[in-house]
Structure 1
Amino acid sequence: MQESVQTSLGSETLWEEERSTDGSKWRFLEHNGPVFAPSYEPLPDKVKFFYDGKHMKLSPPAEEVATFFAKMLDHEYSTKDIFRKNFFKDWRKEMTSEEKSKITDLNKCNFSQMNDYFKAQSEARKQMTKEEKRKIKEENERLLQEYGFCIMDNHKERIGNFRIEPPGLFRGRGDHPKMGMLKRRIRPEDIIINCSKDSKQPKPPPGKKWKEVRHDNKVTWLASWTENIQGSIKYIMLNPSSRIKGEKDWQKYETARRLKKCVDRLRTQYRDDWKSKEMRIRQRAVALYFIDKLALRAGNEKEEGETADTVGCCSLRVEHIQLYPKMDEQEFVVEFDFLGKDSIRYYNKIPVEKRVFKNLQLFLENKQPEDDLFDRLNTSILNKHLQELMDGLTAKVFRTYNASITLQQQLKELTTSDDSIPAKILSYNRANRAVAILCNHQRAPPKTFEKSMQNLQTKIDEKQIQLSTARKQLKAAKADHKASHDDKSKKTVEVKRKAVQRIEEQLMKLQVQATDREENKQIALGTSKLNYLDPRISVAWCKKYAIPIEKIYNKTQREKFAWAIDMAEKDYVF
């Protein structure tokens, strides 16, 4: 089956998947459907909203949407013009005609009491008693047992996410043009259920109906709906640790390993194609070079009405590149600057081979900035060519191959056997970061980054004082033993020496942690680790250097990669 892609929207994680293409089918599927977000509870009367300095009682629909913005007052999103503009436009759609006539300027709105209320609610949750926490845990466990599992072909399988995401404001990644828009509440009438004809079908909430009930055994999703922001279809899928997900993961990395066996031949071929007499072949060959060298996505054409100006390799325009015969003592430099997937800016300056540079000059001739760089190429043409080169080959396979091979090479170069475990983990994260940079997995520095670094530096300073004191105590103990030569003073020296050693290890661990955080503040390591890196490389590295696997993968990740943990030996080579 085609690979499933995890996408994050707000606080919830959903799953997207395309139709099966390898003919594999399930025979039986039974589940209880999704759990919907709770209904909106109006704010207490004491929590007031003010417009232009005057208290104003909002209708429930308008109040609910107002709370979404109030919860984000402390976030930088609420200061962005496009976020505020989109929010206000969608908020007004939920207002009564009277509210619309009065509320005409977002700058005159005062959400501070709402914001304070939600902060207090958050603090109250932190202060809950053990008994209150236990009740919540029991309820969550009840929901998990009722809705969190399905039966597929006589196997009880965990469902990835059975809770429907609550309504809220769309954030997006990067400078997304739709940030601030209202993500509407998903209702039973929006949901398509997929299950067996002979199964016990999920029951919708009382008085409600599903949009549709299907029995499509060529797909592995359990429920689907169309979200209102970008019109994309969202799915509820099996948990990553499920048998079928593990098989698909394994197939994905095996396909990338097949590419490894023939990649030299393909590279020789696209280099030869740079000299082709046909422009379309030259363009295809240069695009493939970029996909291989820079891990660029192929770039699917956007849906009609999509306002985000995002592109991939095949849809690059003239305005997205600049050519420099010489720059910073390097020849044939190409400067890329465009918005990629999720509106994340891709900016890179790289030296390329002379013939690639000459071809790019040719492609740019007599074109305007808004013209296509590869005007004889699209993703369909490229994908057809890739299939001809190797069965199952896509731009994403190149991405997976280059990511995995980069990790393997970097681990070999960076890891030293004599290093401590924290130092080896730092080497691993540096290797992972090299992949994240290759794949352009950026993130904004966490809001609490500076504060957490200050706290960490305080711990380092305190530990250095402890170490200085411990060393003085060891020196004094050695002097005492030199004078007395008795067993008691000898034992004291040994105790003080061990104390110094322990504090030195603790200090080094804190210093490594500080270095790691600083280096990774704008790089997202998780995406590549979960989606592009053959986990057997990481597992083998852990086994080779006696690193506990939980230092690399958390519990959920260990469940997802259970197949790799069982399979990989310390001498595994991608």
Structure 2
Amino acid sequence: MLDHEYTTKEIFQNNFFHDWRKEMTSEEQEIIKDLDKCDFGEIHKYFVDKNEARKALPKEEKQKLKEEADKIQEEYGYCILDGHREKIGNFKTEPPGLFRGRGEHPKMGMLKKRIMPEDVIINCSKDSKIPEPPEGHKWKEVRFDNTVTWLASWTENIQNTLKYIMLNPSSKLKGEKDWQKYEVARRLKDVVHTIRAQYRKDWKSKEIKKRQRAVALYFIDKLALRAGNEKEEGETADTVGCCSLRVEHIQLHPQLDGQEHVVEFDFLGKDSIRYYNKVSVEKPVFKNLQLFMKNKDPSDDLFEHLNTTFLNKHLQDLMDGLTAKVFRTYNASITLQEQLKVLTNPEDNVAGKLLSYNRANRAVAILCNHQRSIPKTFARSMQVLQEKIDAKKKQVEEAQEEVKKAEDEFKDTKEAKAEVNVEKKKKLLKRLEEQLARMNIQATDKEENKQIALGTSKLNYLDPRITVAWCKKFGIPIEKVYNKTQREKFAWAIDMAGEDFEF
């Protein structure tokens, strides 16, 4: 990990040294007292060299390694569920290493211990062949619990959280769960107007608790904010969601940039990704926020009478199965569907339609705040693409001259051979122009996407049936939008959705 900036952080170094000293013998503890005097260069070089050597292996050796990995996959990567052979998602435990966490995690640098068979609970059916533990070891426990979907679990030592071995996203069980998730979000469509009317009414409630719930719900609905679950203090980085916002996370502007009642949000959301947004809100919301912030310190809770349990119980009363998370799925899917209607031009070629699809997906990613840092290789890959575009432009110009030359020749001679030559040159020019147009679209897409992560919403928030219906309607091959893994995960939607599907 020496190449990573994590290792330069003081908290990382302190946590690492503290955990490392616990692993040392008493003699080593006497000698090794200062991390700054330690040189890990040789160990680092050993692993870098090993990595390079693996990359440089001849094709036959690489093939041999692949066959060995396939053999392991074949033995450990499948289970039998309800008589069907199903693929397992992650059948390997993580090796020991140093914990990183997301953002400024207080436990970064701590030692992740090796998982031993004695840590692992196996879950399978009574009549199945129970997996053998490695020689000389035994499992912590073997369970026969058919009410859960995990096959094995253990507790990791740093956050003391449970880790699970689960089925692959392409499995029937996961597919059904996925389908149910989107069906709940579709049901919300029928009652969302009633819910909105209710929280508007609650903005004027005599109970402050109801008012806070109503304003939080407005944010969850309008801005697709996460609800924000309560966490152990000091256990994780200082990230918040809607219910756990503090006074310091928002600023109120009666007027800003020509808009009224503007709320300026600035906080760290899930995975320590910054949420920064300036939103013009309805006047009662603004007035309520002024009231909630009155006589409070910056570190005080904005919604001190609210937690996710209270909020979700209220939502459950409004609609069976409704939680704050469903709003994100609903708003993301509706946004995709509406944007696709607005942006898709039936006259466009496939590349043009795909650009429209990515722009619709991008609108969702922005709504859900799915950001990423600009890839380190971005500038270089853009430069390479630009060089290709310039070269293609040159080819187009040359082809245009060739067409003109051929047309002049035909004018002079009126020979059939010359006419055939004109058509041939025009065909080539058309092909080159299409290639150039495709490259230009690719460059636009790349530039617009550099800080937006499209994958998260595509995999978790967008009803895949909307995408499948769009592909079928406009004759776009599904594989242009979903890669192989995604097609496996969404096989249920590909089978189910016709081109007239409406979310």
Paired position in structure 2 for 1:325:
254
Structure 1 residue 234: Cα displacement: 1.1
Structure 1 residue 410: Cα displacement: 0.9
Is 1:408 the counterpart of 2:337? The answer is yes
Picking from 414, 417, 439, the partner of 1:485 is: 414
Q: Which residue identity does 2:227 align to in structure 1?
A: A
- Structure 2: distance between partners of 1:518 and 1:178: 35
Look up the SS of the partner of 1:303 in the other structure. Answer: coil
CA contact (8 A) 1:175 1:344 kept: no
How many residues matched?
Answer: 503
- Structure 2: distance between partners of 1:101 and 1:473: 81
CA contact (8 A) 2:106 2:235 kept: no
Paired position in structure 2 for 1:236:
165
- Structure 2: distance between partners of 1:115 and 1:249: 43
Structure 1 residue 363: Cα displacement: 0.7
Structure 1 residue 442: Cα displacement: 1.4
CA contact (8 A) 2:105 2:236 kept: no
Instruction: Give the TM-score normalised by structure 1.
Output: 0.84
- Change in CA separation of 1:449 and 1:102 when aligned onto 2, cut-off 3 Å: farther
Structure 1 residue 102: Cα displacement: 4.2
Look up the SS of the partner of 2:354 in the other structure. Answer: helix
Paired position in structure 2 for 1:386:
315
- Structure 1: distance between partners of 2:14 and 2:376: 23
- Change in CA separation of 1:501 and 1:182 when aligned onto 2, cut-off 3 Å: farther
Structure 1 residue 100: Cα displacement: 4.1
Q: State the Cα deviation string for residues 337-359 of structure 1 (Å, max 9, x = none).
A: 11211222211111100000000
- Structure 1: distance between partners of 2:8 and 2:330: 40
Paired position in structure 1 for 2:87:
158
Structure with the higher fraction of residues in helix conformation:
2
- Change in CA separation of 1:296 and 1:480 when aligned onto 2, cut-off 3 Å: same
Paired position in structure 2 for 1:525:
454
Picking from 218, 232, 256, the partner of 2:185 is: 256
CA contact (8 A) 1:456 1:514 kept: yes
CA contact (8 A) 1:544 1:570 kept: yes
Paired position in structure 2 for 1:308:
237
Look up the SS of the partner of 2:217 in the other structure. Answer: helix
Q: State the Cα deviation string for residues 315-371 of structure 1 (Å, max 9, x = none).
A: 111111111101111110111111211222211111100000000111111111111
Look up the SS of the partner of 2:86 in the other structure. Answer: strand
Q: Which residue identity does 2:91 align to in structure 1?
A: F
Look up the SS of the partner of 2:95 in the other structure. Answer: coil
Picking from 91, 98, 123, the partner of 1:169 is: 98
Picking from 352, 371, 376, the partner of 1:423 is: 352
- Change in CA separation of 1:419 and 1:342 when aligned onto 2, cut-off 3 Å: same
Paired position in structure 2 for 1:133:
62
CA contact (8 A) 2:151 2:164 kept: yes
Picking from 280, 283, 301, the partner of 1:354 is: 283
Look up the SS of the partner of 1:199 in the other structure. Answer: coil
Picking from 184, 194, 202, the partner of 1:273 is: 202
Gaps of 5+ in 2: none
Look up the SS of the partner of 1:136 in the other structure. Answer: helix
Is 1:123 the counterpart of 2:52? The answer is yes
- Structure 1: distance between partners of 2:9 and 2:447: 26
Look up the SS of the partner of 1:481 in the other structure. Answer: helix
Paired position in structure 1 for 2:466:
537
Q: Which moved more, 1:442-451 or 1:526-535?
A: 442-451
Paired position in structure 2 for 1:246:
175
Q: Which moved more, 1:366-375 or 1:544-553?
A: 366-375
Structure 1 residue 281: Cα displacement: 0.7
- Structure 2: distance between partners of 1:304 and 1:490: 80
- Structure 2: distance between partners of 1:251 and 1:239: 17
Look up the SS of the partner of 1:324 in the other structure. Answer: strand
Picking from 363, 366, 370, the partner of 2:299 is: 370
Q: Map 1:464-503; keep pairs closer than 5 Å.
A: 464-503=393-432
- Structure 2: distance between partners of 1:473 and 1:84: 66
- Change in CA separation of 1:356 and 1:468 when aligned onto 2, cut-off 3 Å: same
Structure 1 residue 422: Cα displacement: 1.3
Paired position in structure 1 for 2:223:
294
Structure 1 residue 402: Cα displacement: 0.4
- Structure 2: distance between partners of 1:451 and 1:79: 26
Structure 1 residue 226: Cα displacement: 1.5
Look up the SS of the partner of 1:496 in the other structure. Answer: helix
Q: Which residue identity does 2:280 align to in structure 1?
A: P
CA contact (8 A) 1:333 1:351 kept: yes
Structure 1: 4+ residue segments shifted above 6 A: none
Is 1:505 the counterpart of 2:443? The answer is no
Look up the SS of the partner of 1:205 in the other structure. Answer: coil
Q: Which residue identity does 2:363 align to in structure 1?
A: A
Q: State the Cα deviation string for residues 453-484 of structure 1 (Å, max 9, x = none).
A: 22222211222222222222222222222222
The CA RMSD over aligned residues, in Å, is 1.8
- Structure 2: distance between partners of 1:470 and 1:112: 56
Q: State the Cα deviation string for residues 412-440 of structure 1 (Å, max 9, x = none).
A: 11111111211211111111111111111
Structure 1 residue 84: Cα displacement: 4.0
Look up the SS of the partner of 2:212 in the other structure. Answer: helix
